[in-house]
């Protein structure tokens, strides 16, 4: 079976990139990371990719006249590597509509909140300031908006009144590292169909469940 070729965009630490590379190495996804791009030359994600023998490119926005030109340069690299799916993994810039159109339904993102709540930057801090009792993370297809595209998978974790941005972020991150590779696996297996705002997952077991925070028996 041919493997899905992944291009990953990072701006920083790259722990989600690492979880994707690790899942690919373990054979859990029919996919492999073939190229990693960053807008930030100091992104540690670049080091992680290089350690794994994966080609990396720094594509700096300041080297281009506008966002369309910058994104077009990234798109050219991704096409050169015959990437089938583009994964944003802590890529902290909004993509140009021209880029989204060029790779329609072939770009996914992970966001550290339960969308559509708390899009944009510092999703975890926004959720804490709001006083939510649960939060989590979301993998979604990328459309022209900010964190607005069709949702593939979400994970829910509790939020506690004495959480800090750091403690909640760490709790959420553990699940980011689980749901991102899972979403890629479903995509690679051809099991995701986008119909309007909805993503239909082939074989979805429709298992019913609920969590409360706090638990009802405390
Ligand atoms: C992750 O928590 C990711 O969800 C978030 O940035 C972090 C990157 O960590 N992304 C966003 O906030 C996008 N709006 P990583 O570089 O270790 O994967």
Residue 16 Cβ contacting ligand 1 at under 6 Å: yes
Compute the distance from residue 139 Cα to the ligand 1 centre, in Å. 11
- Helices and strands (DSSP H and E) totals, the chain: 6, 9
Q: Is 140 an active-site residue?
A: no
- Whether the Cβ atoms of residue 39 and residue 11 lie closer than 8 Å to each other: yes
Q: Which of 111, 140, 177, 206 is an active site residue?
A: 111
Question: Which protein residue's CA is at the shortest distance from atom 9 of ligand 1?
Answer: 90
The reply to whether ligand 1 has any atom less than 6 angstroms from the CB of 163 is no
Residue 158 backbone phi and psi in degrees, to 5: -75, 150
How high is the pLDDT of residue 1? 62
Residue with CA closest to ligand 1 atom 8: 90
Q: Where are the alpha helices (DSSP H) in 88-216?
A: 97-102, 123-130, 165-188
Which positions ≥6 away from 15 have C-beta within 8 Å? 90, 173, 176, 177
Ligand 1 mean position to 201 CA, how many Å? 24
Domain spans, the chain: 4-201
- What is the full per-residue pLDDT of the chain (218 aa) written as tens digits? 689 999 999 999 999 999 999 999 999 999 999 999 999 999 999 999 999 999 999 999 999 999 999 999 999 999 999 999 999 999 999 999 999 999 999 999 999 999 999 999 999 999 999 999 999 999 999 999 999 999 999 999 999 999 999 999 999 999 999 999 999 999 999 999 999 999 999 999 999 999 999 999 98
Kindly state if the Cβ of 122 falls inside 6 Å of ligand 1: no
Do 62 and 44 meet the contact criterion of CB atoms below 8 Å apart? no
Give the residue whose CA is nearest to atom 10 of ligand 1.
Answer: 90
106 lines ligand 1 (CB under 6 A): no
What is the fold, at CATH topology level, of the domain defined by 4-201? Rossmann fold (3.40.50)
Burial status of residue 74 (CB atoms within 10 A of its CB: 0-12, 13-18, 19 or more): buried
Could you tell me if the CB of 136 is within 6 A of ligand 1? no
Q: Is the CB of 12 under 6 A from ligand 1?
A: yes
């Amino acid at each position: 079976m041919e493997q899905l070729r992944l291009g990953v965009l990072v701006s920083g630490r790259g722990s989600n990139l690492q979880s994707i590379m690790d899942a690919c190495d373990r054979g859990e996804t029919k996919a492999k990371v073939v190229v990693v791009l960053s807008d930030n030359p100091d992104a540690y994600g670049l080091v992680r990719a290089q350690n794994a023998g994966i080609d990396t490119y720094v594509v700096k926005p300041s080297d281009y006249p506008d966002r369309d030109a910058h994104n077009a340069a990234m798109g050219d690299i991704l096409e050169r590597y015959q990437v089938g799916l583009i994964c944003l993994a802590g890529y902290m810039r909004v993509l140009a509509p021209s880029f989204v159109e060029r790779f329609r339904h072939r770009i996914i993102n992970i966001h550290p909140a339960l969308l559509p709540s708390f899009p944009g930057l510092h999703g975890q801090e926004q959720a804490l300031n709001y006083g939510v009792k649960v939060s989590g993370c979301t993998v979604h297809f990328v459309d022209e908006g900010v964190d607005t595209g069709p949702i593939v998978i979400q994970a829910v974790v509790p939020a506690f009144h004495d959480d800090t941005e750091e403690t909640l972020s760490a709790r959420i991150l553990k699940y980011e590292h689980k749901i991102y590779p899972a979403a890629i696996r479903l995509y690679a297996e051809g099991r995701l169909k986008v119909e309007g705002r909805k993503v239909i997952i082939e074989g979805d077991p429709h298992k019913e469940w609920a969590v409360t925070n706090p638990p009802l028996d405390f």
